[in-house]
Amino acid sequence: MNIDLNNIKPQDAEAVIVPVLLDSDKLATKDTAELLNRLKTKGKIKGEHGEVFSTMTASQDIIFIGLGKEELLNGEKVRIASAKAVKKARELKAKSLYVQLINSDKLCYGTIVKAMVEGLRFGDYKFDRYKTDKKEHTDLDICLGGVSEDKLKETEEYIKEANNISNATIIARNLVNEPSNVLYPETLAEEALEYGKQFGFDVEVFDELQIDELKMDAFLSVAEGSNKAPRLIVMRYFGNEDNKSEILGLVGKGLTYDSGGYSIKPTDGMVTMKSDMGGAAAVIGAMSAIANQKLKINVVAVVAACENMISGGAYKPGDIIGSMAGKTIEVLNTDAEGRLTLADAVYYIVEKEKASRVIDLATLTGAALIALGTTTTAVVTNDDAFYKELEAASAKSDEKVWQLPAFEDYKKMLKSDIADLKNIGGRHAGTITAGLFIGEFVQSKPWLHLDIAGTAWTDADKDYFSKGGTGAGVRTLYYLAKNTAKK
């Protein structure tokens, strides 16, 4: 998809998108104002948020998209409305599209432009590369029109940044949507290497012998059951040479497939387990956006990639395993594997890469869905100030987050009678205890754990999401890095 600025005149586009406010007609173009008034009079469209109505003139389709009341307008509503509009344009088989800019004093100009671009890009996304009878999905030329001369340069920069963020999110979506017979630890590492070359960050890949030399026993224990060899993927971007001691560490859960191991999942629970590397996809996408935007910040990202499978060599419930940190772990459930790989990964990023702050992202617990559903990411942290920074980034990305308590009482639930820790804390507070297990390995560094089990995947098309991977976390990580770079 190509999104440009004032490159198509409204009369030359095959379709025109006109935003409609519930309480005003001020967003209509002079060519569509009269038509909109007639449609409103006839009750064809009111301007309720998400409402879509299309009609034809002699030469083109006119698509009206509702935004709701102007005083309630926000970036997420703009993003959703833009996605609905582009889907309608696709339905009408338009190949060129003129989108009237939303002008509102109620919302930051940059927020509007970026939300429109993201909505158009995300709404047009589909993962169909394995369909043999797929319909042709041709490039759609889109013009963002109605931009005043004095705003041209500023708008171009916003479009450029929004395209960068959108590309990175789509990278994450594609990675999550790939089946596990195509995307496994070695090929995930190859993808990371390619994105590093494309966007400007360094990538180092460790094989199983090198991982063993690092004594990442917890990670290797999870990987033992698969004939697909594990890979430790380390991505480095140093955009602030003036302050090399400050390094933001990103760790993504990289289970390219999770059967549950001997604590095997039911069939229905395994079908979507190619998505268990949603955290890895998010950090690869975020690194791509951060490096491509050339943010003045140092970021290292780590993915411990493996499969959790069953074989004669697989780890078992009741085993006691080691870890890179030297702590012993009693395995009570082999389906609580992500926290084991993350334990070694977060320890590695602090110990070897000298990360000064750490964020891990993981599709970790079903309990996160029970607690917060599919709209909000659960967060466990040891640093409230760091969480406030995450909240500020979340406010820009419109990816919702919610902090869970991390009281000492919860940590007691992880104590083992025969080892230093056990890998599950029992039925209660599952998201919290899973996060706190990882927190045992961050060496007291400021740390955020994001459980994206509910937000990284959607079972149906909705708003600007299509069924499958959502790319959750990419935008929030980008804005957190950008906000940090400004300091």
pLDDT band at 466 (very low <50, low <70, confident <90, very high): very high
- For residue 2, pLDDT beyond 80: no
Window from 200-204, 243-247, 255-259, 291-295 with minimum mean pLDDT: 243-247
Quote the pLDDT of residue 476. 98
Q: Is the pLDDT of residue 30 over 80?
A: no
pLDDT confidence of residue 462: 95
Q: What is the pLDDT of residue 33?
A: 86
From the CB of residue 412, how many other CB atoms can be counted at a distance below 10 Å?
11
pLDDT for 455 beyond 80: yes
Q: Which of 87, 339, 475, 482 is catalytic?
A: 339
Rounded CA-CA distance 82/269 in Å is 33
Reply yes or no on whether 126 is catalytic: no
What mean pLDDT comes out for the span 433-457?
98
Over residues 304-352, the pLDDT tens digits come to: 999 999 999 999 999 999 999 999 999 999 999 999 999 999 999 999 9
Residues 105-123 have pLDDT tens digits of: 889 999 999 999 999 999 9
Question: Domain 2-145 adopts which CATH fold?
Answer: Leucine Aminopeptidase, subunit E; domain 1 (3.40.220)
Give whole-number Cα distances, 65 to 24, 59, 68, 125, in Å: 13, 20, 10, 19
pLDDT tens readout for residues 357-413: 999 999 999 999 999 999 999 999 999 999 999 999 999 999 999 999 999 999 999
To which H or E segment does residue 195 belong?
Answer: helix 185-199
Looking at the chain, the whole-number percentage of residues with pLDDT higher than 70 is: 99
The answer on pLDDT for 137 being more than 80 is no
**pLDDT tens-digit profile of 415-436?**
999 999 999 999 999 999 999 9
Mean pLDDT of all residues in 126-146:
84
Closest to 451 in 3D by CA, of 383, 343, 360: 360
Mean of the per-residue pLDDT values of the chain:
96
- The answer to whether the 2-145 and 167-485 domains have the same CATH topology is no
121 is catalytic: no
Write phi, then psi, for 3 (nearest 5 degrees).
-120, 115
Confidence of residue 487 (pLDDT cuts 50, 70, 90): low
CA distance 403 to 401: 7
Higher pLDDT, 275 or 105: 275
Q: Could you tell me the pLDDT band of residue 220, with boundaries at 50, 70 and 90? A: very high
Quote the Cα angle for 367-373-379, to 5°: 65
Confidence category of residue 135, pLDDT binned at 50, 70, 90: low
- pLDDT, one tens digit per residue, over 89-103 is 999 999 999 999 998
Domain parsing of the chain, residue ranges: 2-145, 167-485
Give the mean pLDDT of 273-299: 98
Digit-coded pLDDT (tens) for 405-417: 999 999 999 999 9
Of 11, 10, 66, which Cα lies nearest the Cα of 36? 66
Q: Is the pLDDT of residue 486 over 90?
A: no
Helix (H) or strand (E) holding 234: strand 231-238
Nearest to 388 by CA among 467, 484, 284, 300: 484
pLDDT surpassing 80 at residue 87 = yes
> In this predicted structure, what is the pLDDT of residue 206?
98
Q: What is the mean pLDDT of residues 233-244?
A: 95
Report how far residue 99's alpha carbon sits from residue 115's, in angstroms, rounded to the nearest whole number: 13
* pLDDT-derived band at 136, boundaries 50, 70, 90: low
Q: Which residue matches tokens 């996809």?
A: 281
pLDDT at 231 over 90: yes
Mean pLDDT of 230-247: 96
Round to whole Å and give the CA distance between 174 and 187: 13
What secondary structure does DSSP assign to 398-464, as a single string? T-EEEEPP--HHHHHTT--SSSSEES---STTHHHHHHHHHHTTSTT--EEEEE-TTTSEESS-BTT
pLDDT over threshold 90, residue 73: yes
Task: Please give the pLDDT value at position 454.
Answer: 98
pTM > 0.85: yes
The span from the CA of 422 to the CA of 426, in Å, is 10
Q: Domain 167-485 has what CATH class?
A: alpha beta
Pick from 449, 460, 156, 192: nearest CA to 303: 192
Instruction: Please state the rounded mean pLDDT for residues 226-236.
Output: 98
Cα separations (Å) of 225 from 46, 179, 415?
Answer: 58, 19, 26
Of the residues 265, 296, 327, 411, only one is catalytic, namely 265
